[in-house]
Amino acid sequence: MATITLHGNTIHTSGELPAVGAQAPAFKLTGGDLADVSLADFKGRKKLLNIVPSLDTGVCATSTRKFNDAAKKLGDKVVVLIVSADLPFAQSRFCTGEHLDNVISLSMMRDKNFAKDYGVLIQDGPLAGICARAVVVLDENDKVLYTQQVPEIGEEPDYDKALAALR
């Protein structure tokens, strides 16, 4: 269980992020077309998972925009996935409205196994039941290269370190 804060108040997650060097847990999330999307769908590509509470918040929106801009320069061998508890319709509306064509948004609408398996499910406080802010970078074979559990939900992740892990 990780201890993080929300506006300075202590809250807890369901566990710890996967360890660097470990095999990433498989997942099944929901894409914008309501189809199931799995980790295996991105086999052979490096993956940056930007895990956020909700795209309907300023910091989540900002991190998605920044990773979208960075993804333009990363090429086809890298995919940036935005994972949140938002419904796919809301995710698509946000990404379309912001012209974010270089990220793929994925929803936990059908179950919370992703958040549990990645240790980011918030257990208490006003955001209980959704994801804490975190970044996980995986190689082409789903080995964990980098993780960051952002200690204060209202803060942005370390973009430079996450992107450096993809190189």
Transcribe 90-143 into DSSP letters: HHHHHHHHTT--SEEEEE-SS-SHHHHHTT-BB-SSTTTTSBPPEEEEE-TTSB
Task: With beta carbons less than 8 A apart as the criterion, state whether 139 and 156 touch.
Answer: no
Residue 111: per-residue pLDDT? 86
- At residue 167, the pLDDT reads 85
CB 48: neighbour CB atoms within 10 A? 24
Average pLDDT of each block of 10 consecutive residues along the chain (167 residues)?
A: 92 97 97 96 97 94 94 91 96 94 96 96 95 97 98 96 94
Q: Catalytic residue at 131?
A: no
Q: Can you give the pLDDT at residue 150?
A: 97
CA–CA gap between residue 1 and residue 20 (Å, rounded)? 17
* 68 closest CA partner among 91, 86, 88, 90: 91
Domain annotation for the chain: domains and CATH numbers: 3-165 (3.40.30.10)
CA distance 117 to 143: 15
Helix (H) / strand (E) containing 46: strand 46-51
pLDDT of res. 75: 85
Catalytic option among 2, 11, 60, 103:
60
pLDDT tens sequence across 66-109: 999 999 899 889 999 999 999 999 999 999 999 999 999 999 99
